[in-house]
A and B are shown apart, each in its own frame.
Chain A
Amino acid sequence: MAIRTEPVTVNLGPQHPSTHGVFRLRVTFDGEVVLDVEPVFGYLHRGTEKLAEERTYVQVVTLTDRLDYVSAMTNNLAYVRAVEKLAGIEVPERAKYLRVISSELQRIASHLIATGFLLQELGAFATPLMYCFRERERILELFEMLCGARITVSYMRPGGVLQDAPEDFWPALDELVKAMPQYIEELEGLITSNEIVLARTKDVGVLTAEKAINASVTGPMLRATGVQWDLRKADPHEVYDRVEFDVPIGAIGDTYDRYLVRVQEMRQSLRIIEQCVKQIPKGDIRSRTAYFIRPPVGDAYGAVESPKGELGFYLVSDGGIAPYRCKIRSPSFINLTVLRDLLAGWKMADLIIIFGSTDIVLGEVDR
């Protein structure tokens, strides 16, 4: 006897424990199996691009903090890079190093969050999440030393950084760089070889390299598919061409690979910081720029490798004190393109972890 079944449509979200904010997945289930997914978002849309048109070039820095609110430093960096390209501003050496140090710290913090929440979604009762937050806390303390804020840093300015690091910053940074590898080791001990994690994440949500490139996927998600592409190497900005680091890649592009790539990137970031601390010269931290920057008429696209992928700012200037158009190429938003292809056919529990492994931040998706 054939039992008649009918698909069930469930709204996962906007208030669901594992949607990373206000995000809605309209999912059609056949039993536990996902038939169709439609992401619905925009709940956090604040019109950053429109707001930027009415702010001066420096004031927009504060808006970029609020895009990807777990990695404000890289947002600042991407924006000020675009402005510097547009207006032709030179940056002092010391500022470049400070920028790299702070954005690599931010990358570690962001990847810690991604890993912690992935494990939370796997059902590990908050323990890995708490460990991740514990380590992130130390990084945020460093940010507080650097610029007086922990999340919304507003640290970088066109032409340099806001202010030099205080004296007690350097010993604290050394301590962190020394202690961090063993924390990452500990985190890996809890997760990497755990058979339950392997059973849940291995071969789940496989993304192929061709598909990823065609769908403009960037960041750890792209690297997990085996494509060795990192903007820090491909188009070295700041001082990335003066430091040595590897670009970790995954083997097959499944959820486990995405996790592994993130963990290995944390190690590489520590390597970069270590070398930067050795190399950093004394000197200015900010070149003299007018407070109201008036770039020449034209456009510029500046991008950096943010923890989520390629974060780009496309600025159009009409010669005034505010950008005529400020387009944000947000990696979280564009990585969502493949969501439907990734999720269809998997089970409900897989849906949650695949979605978690894409590591989106709603502030950046909705802008």
Chain B
Amino acid sequence: MEGQAVKAGFDFLGIYGFFDGLMPESLDWLAFLVAGFILAFAIINALVVSTAVYTWFERRALGKFQSRLGPNRWGPFGLLQPIADVVKFMSKEDTVPDGADRQVFTLAPIVFVATGFLVFALIPLGSNDWLSRLNIGLVFIIAVTSVNTLAIFMAGWSSRNKYAMFGAMRGVAMLISYEVPMALAIAAVALASQSLSTYTVVTNQEVPFMLVMPLAFFIFVAAASAEMSRTPFDLIESESELGSGYHTEYSGMKFALFQLAEFMAPIIVSCIVATLFLSGWRGWGPIPGQVWFILKALVVLCALLWFRATWPRLRVDQIMEFAWKGLFPLSLLNLFAVATEIQLLRDPVTGALTDSDMWAMAAINWAITGIVFLAVSRMFARKQLQRPLPKPSPLANMGAEAE
């Protein structure tokens, strides 16, 4: 990718302009098509390769967390392990269970993967490196991530397997519930940045929104990790209960697609978090914006990995409770607070928010977060952490001597 000096970066307009210059004017549509294909090709491959590297990274890091080694045999430090995995997947028999709905069964992994690619098109990697500057980017992200639900349901339902059904049903219930707080958290971001475009969100993000709206950040990360079904919300494919949930019956390349989408999800989520809450490519000093962006995304990625390595899973009703009784009210509170603050602080004429306004908002929001956290912790701690002292039952007496 080009630096900031180049006027048109590696984006659609740049490539289109390049091809348009080469071709006669009557072939405009061809240039359009070629540019589109090149972009699509580049983004898909970049994402697939980074996912492959990420699978290696995740397995090595999880190994370290669990005080074992992780894959280290194939290639230097086991870096070629993803290739070995893919070769293995490809050489496996592609089975379709008897009685499965063949079309839906085949379509599900494709739909599942496609949504991930679509979202990635909206992530601005640098001030000039964006692939699509859709002016309703945030709405698009919310919309596209919900297609996931459909794919999971398709996979689970068409498999004709009870475990898959359980996984799919859980998945639908959970994903739909968590979309609400996620959307509300994004709404707060949209309010604060006064834009719906992912690009403008970053340009308007003088202060990282993580500092401005900690509550929204927390809600978004929780909801997003539920959306991609990672621990502690991984009940869709909870392997100790359901085998592997909705993709129990998949094998070969179809299964590989599910794995791809699953490992892609953390990357996409951390990119979205970096964009919406960590001020994207913005940084200081001579380090280029792209590096800043990747660094931020990596930090989020590692944190998600850390949580995954540590925490157990919640139960299905607890997860739903957490969504509707926990995150949903919190996100409403957050939205209300942010909206009120903006109404009070913004410039009455232009509606713009200055840096100092942002910092003021940050102070208020942190206070709110602290109060909420204390209140919630009081409420739960009393209920959960207290246990009666064990008392020996009168039904047994070890010391007794028979007469």
Contact = CB atoms under 8 A, between A and B. Distances in A.
Interface of A: 8, 10, 16-18, 32, 119-127, 130-131, 134, 190, 193-200, 202, 209-210, 213, 225-230, 233-234, 247-252, 256-257, 347-350, 352
A119 B312 contact: yes
Interface string B253-279: 000000000000000000000000000
A202 B387 contact: yes
Nearest to A249: B390
B66 A127 contact: yes
Interface of B: 62, 65-68, 162-163, 165-166, 170, 231-232, 234-235, 238-241, 243, 308-318, 380, 384-385, 387-393, 395-396, 398-399
Q: Sorted from nearest, which 4 A-B pairs have the closest CB atoms?
A: A123-B313, A122-B312, A130-B66, A124-B312
A24 B172 CA distance: 28
Given A199-B314, A352-B241, 13 more contacts: A8-B165, A32-B166, A124-B313, A125-B308, A130-B66, A130-B67, A131-B67, A198-B384, A199-B318, A200-B312, A227-B396, A233-B399, A251-B388
Given A125-B62, A352-B241, A199 B311 contact: no
Contacts of A17: 239-240, 243
Contacts of B390: 226, 248-251, 257
Nearest to A248: B390
Contacts of A256: 387
A256 B387 CA distance: 10
A349 B241 contact: yes
7 contacts: A122-B313, A124-B313, A196-B313, A198-B384, A226-B392, A251-B389, A347-B317
B243 A124 contact: no
Contacts of A226: 390-393
B240 A121 contact: yes
Contact of A200 (B65, B163, B315): B315
A123 to B, nearest CB: 3
Contacts of B399: 233
B262 to A, nearest CB: 13
A162 to B, nearest CB: 31
Given A17-B239, A18-B240, A199-B384, A209 B162 contact: no
B384 A195 contact: yes
A208 B385 CA distance: 21
A242 B65 CA distance: 42
B232 A123 contact: yes
B385 A198 contact: yes
Contacts of B311: 124, 194, 196
Contacts of A210: 395
Given A124-B231, A250-B390, A10 B163 contact: yes
Task: Tell which of A123, A127, A134, A196 has the most Cβ of chain B within 10 Å.
Answer: A123
A126 B70 CA distance: 13
A197 B170 CA distance: 20
Contacts of B170: 32
Contact of A127 (B310, B385, B392): B310
A249 B312 contact: no
Nearest to A119: B312
Contact of A213 (B62, B165, B240, B395): B395
Nearest to A9: B162
Given A17-B239, A226-B391, A227-B395, A123 B65 contact: no
Given A194-B311, A196-B314, A230 B398 contact: yes
A197 B312 contact: yes
Contacts of A252: 387-388
B309 A123 contact: no
Contacts of A198: 384-385
B310 A190 contact: yes
A358 to B, nearest CB: 15
Contact of A225 (B67, B317, B393): B393
Contacts of B388: 251-252
A202 B388 CA distance: 12
Contacts of B392: 226-228, 249
Contacts of A251: 387-391
B119 to A, nearest CB: 25
B243 A229 contact: no
A123 B385 contact: no
Task: Tell which of A124, A229, A252 has the most Cβ of chain B within 10 Å.
Answer: A124
Contacts of A352: 240-241
Contact of A123 (B62, B231, B387, B389): B231
Contacts of A130: 66-68
A226 to B, nearest CB: 4
B287 to A, nearest CB: 34
B395 A209 contact: yes
Contacts of B65: 127
Contacts of A18: 240-241
